[in-house]
Each structure stands twice: as structure tokens, then as C-alpha cells.
């Protein structure tokens, strides 16, 4: 079964297009019109400013909240003038930090609940009991509906899930980064019924860095796009949709046309041979 792409907002603020409020409103509306209603954030996006930019739209349109789902993340302490007390980039999954970050996100979004909170990166000092307690409290208080992690190893997921259900795992997966196919993460998602979300689903740097691997992938994706009569982006996402873990791409474009392509990609059923053609373009060789 294929699930609608999640719309990533990392580049909507000052880390990218720097949309004004009207532009946020327009692109959110356009997404809703084609059935895309889940938006991915993190506390740190735009050096801690993008959540609030997005939240302005909710402030001015209270009925919008019921139509959308908000994912956000916490756990990274970023070095930025917007957080002058941070002396080094570090991770913090203490209950105090999670609570403070969630309360701030709620304020930023002008809402009283988050649909999903993800722990952004595995904190070497994380205490699973402490995380479980604070997540349970936040859920009981109605401030959080679902919980997940991002960029964890399978053993870190195994550890944490002994204490609190893990409902989502967001990791980098694309034709340029196929680790999750082999490191057990997607197997674990299937086994444990965890939603697998892929960030940078089009391939980190694919369009900007002219490496041999990227050129091979673009060449093959272009050939397939002619065969399937679609865009290259649709082929790259169809590669993820072919996997039985029901991977949900978290798309990062700032262009509505490319958001539409992502939605359209769900219609493509890439054949096994064509999946393996893209895999071979990624690795540089056929499978053994
Ligand atoms: N959990 C994590 O640790 C983590 C890490 C990174 C990101 N994320 C999430 O994942 C989302 C997606 O990440 P991403 O932005 O790296 O994903 P992506 O969708 O793979 O890449 C988007 C980038 O590719 C460009 N692009 C797309 N199609 C193109 C084309 N045909 N030609 C040239 N450029 C093209 C886009 O530019 P345009 O804007 O011009 O289309 C944009 O800069 C983020 O928004 C964020 O929500 C999560």
C-alpha cells in the first residue's frame, strides 16, 4: 500500500526560499488541494524560526489545524545566535529538554497538540526510561498524538521500544543512499509495524554534485522517465514506493510543481527489473 508523501518544510524558511506568510498559505492550500496534508518540521529548521513562520498561517486560520498533520522533531541543540546559551552542537533527550522543546513548538505552531514528535538524532546519553516517561506524560496531556525517532540504528530502536511504542522512523533513503535496504531498518519497520519515512528521498546532492554515481543515476532515471512517460523525480520516488516497507517519502522541494510530481509518483508501479536498474546505477554494478 502506498501512502501520500509527507511535505518537508526544512527549506521553506530562511534555510531556503524564505516564504512570506502569504506564500506559506498558498503552498499549504495547494498541498491540501491535491490531498497532501502532513507537514514535516523540526525545532531547529531555519535556526529555530521555521516552525513559527508556518504557525503564523495557523494563527490567522484556526480551522486549518484540523485539516493538517504536523510532525516536528527535537533533540538537537544547534549552535546559533538564536540560542546564545549553546556552546557546542550537542544532543539532548532529557525529559526537561523534550518538554521545553514541545511546549515551544506548540507555541510556534499556535496549536495545542502535535500530531507527531520524533527524536531527531540518537543521543548517546539517552535514557529510555526517561524518554518513555515524558512521552507518556505528553500524550496523556493531549499535547502529542504519536511518537517516533529519526536516524536511529536498529538496536537503538530495539532498546527504546522496550519502554515506549515507536510508531515512526525517519531515515535517509533514496537511490543515492540505499543503506536502509540492507542495514535492517526497513526489515524492522515491516516486522514492528513502524512507519518508515525517508528524508532526502530524491538523493542528497543528486542534482547539484556531479559525481560518477549521481551521473549514472540521473542517466538511468532519465531513460526510465521516457519509458514511463513521467518526470525524473517521479521515477526516483517510484523506486522508494516499490519497497514492501511502504516507505513514505518526506519531500523537500519548495516548488508546487514538484510537490505535484511527488503525488503523481504514487501511480507508477516500477517493475522489478527497473528497480534493479536504478539500484545498479547507484552501486555501479549488477547484483551478485
Ligand atoms: N530527519 C532528518 O534528519 C532530516 C534530515 C534532512 C531532511 N529532513 C526532512 O526531509 C525533507 C526532505 O529533505 P530534502 O530537502 O533533502 O529532500 P529532497 O526532496 O530529496 O530534495 C529537495 C531538494 O532537491 C531539489 N530538487 C528537487 N527536484 C529537483 C530537480 N528535478 N532538479 C533540481 N533540483 C531538484 C529541491 O529544489 P527545489 O526546492 O528548487 O525544488 C530541493 O533543494 C526536509 O524538508 C525535512 O523535512 C529530515
The best mutation among 8, 210, 265 to test binding of ligand 1, ranked by most ligand atoms within 8 Å of the C-beta, falls on 8
pLDDT by 10s per residue, the chain, length 288:
899 999 999 999 999 999 999 999 999 999 999 999 999 999 999 999 999 999 999 998 989 999 999 999 999 999 999 999 999 999 999 999 999 999 999 999 999 999 999 999 999 999 999 999 999 999 999 999 999 999 999 999 999 999 999 999 999 999 999 999 999 999 999 999 999 999 999 998 999 999 999 999 999 999 999 999 999 999 999 999 999 999 999 999 999 999 999 999 999 999 999 999 999 999 999 999
Tally of domains within the chain:
1
Q: How far is the CA of 199 from the centre of ligand 1 (A)?
A: 8
Question: How far is the C-alpha of 181 from the C-alpha of 202, rounded, in Å?
Answer: 16
Residue 212 domain flag? no
CA gap 25, 52 in Å, rounded:
13
Beta strand 114-119 with 90-91 is: unpaired
123 is a domain residue: yes
Task: List C-alpha distances in Å: 216 to 220, 228, 241, 282.
Answer: 6, 18, 21, 7
231 pocket-lining for ligand 1 (C-beta < 6 Å): no
Task: Assess if residue 40 is contained within a domain.
Answer: yes
pLDDT of residue 199: 98
Report if residue 266 sits inside a domain. no
pTM of the predicted structure, to 2 decimals: 0.98
Within-domain flag for 267: no
Distance 185 CA to ligand 1 centre (A): 21
Q: How far is the CA of 132 from the centre of ligand 1 (A)?
A: 31
Please give the residue range of the domain that contains residue 109: 6-166
CATH number at residue 18: 3.20.20.100
Please give the pLDDT value at position 60.
85
Contact (CB, 8 A) for 98 and 74: yes
CA 209 – CA 120 distance, rounded (Å): 26
261 in helix, strand or coil?
Answer: helix
Amino acid at each position: 500500500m502506498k501512502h501520500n508523501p509527507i511535505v518537508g518544510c526544512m527549506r521553506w524558511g530562511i534555510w531556503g526560499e524564505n516564504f512570506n506568510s502569504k506564500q506559506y498559505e498558498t503552498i499549504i492550500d495547494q498541498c491540501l488541494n491535491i490531498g497532501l496534508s502532513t507537514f514535516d518540521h523540526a525545532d531547529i529548521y531555519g535556526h529555530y524560526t521555521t516552525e513559527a513562520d508556518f504557525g503564523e498561517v495557523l494563527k490567522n486560520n484556526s480551522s486549518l489545524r484540523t485539516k493538517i498533520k504536523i510532525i516536528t522533531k527535537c533533540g538537537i541543540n544547534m549552535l546559533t545566535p538564536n540560542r546564545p546559551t549553546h556552546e557546542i552542537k550537542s544532543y539532548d533527550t532529557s525529559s526537561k529538554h523534550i518538554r521545553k522543546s514541545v511546549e515551544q513548538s506548540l507555541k510556534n505552531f499556535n496549536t495545542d497538540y502535535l500530531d507527531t514528535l520524533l527524536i531527531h538524532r540518537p543521543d548517546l546519553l539517552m535514557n529510555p526510561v526517561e524518554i518513555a516517561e515524558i512521552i507518556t506524560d505528553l500524550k496523556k496531556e493531549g499535547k502529542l498524538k504519536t511518537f517516533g525517532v529519526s536516524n536511529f540504528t536498529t538496536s537503538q530502536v530495539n532498546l527504546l521500544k522496550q519502554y515506549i511504542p515507536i510508531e515512526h522512523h525517519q531515515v535517509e533513503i533514496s537511490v543515492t543512499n540505499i543503506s536502509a535496504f540492507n542495514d535492517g531498518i526497513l526489515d524492522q519497520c515491516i516486522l514492528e509495524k513502524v512507519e518508515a519515512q525517508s528524508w532526502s528521498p530524491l538523493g542528497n546532492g543528486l542534482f547539484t554534485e556531479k559525481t560518477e554515481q549521481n551521473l549514472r543515476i540521473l542517466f538511468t532515471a532519465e531513460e526510465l522517465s521516457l519509458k514511463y512517460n513521467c518526470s525524473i523525480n517521479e521515477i526516483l520516488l517510484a523506486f522508494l514506493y516499490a519497497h514492501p516497507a511502504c516507505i513514505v517519502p518526506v519531500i523537500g522541494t519548495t516548488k508546487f510543481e514538484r510537490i505535484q510530481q511527488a503525488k503523481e509518483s504514487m501511480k507508477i508501479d516500477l517493475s522489478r527489473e527497473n528497480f534493479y536498474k536504478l539500484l545498479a546505477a547507484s552501486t555501479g554494478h549488477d547484483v551478485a
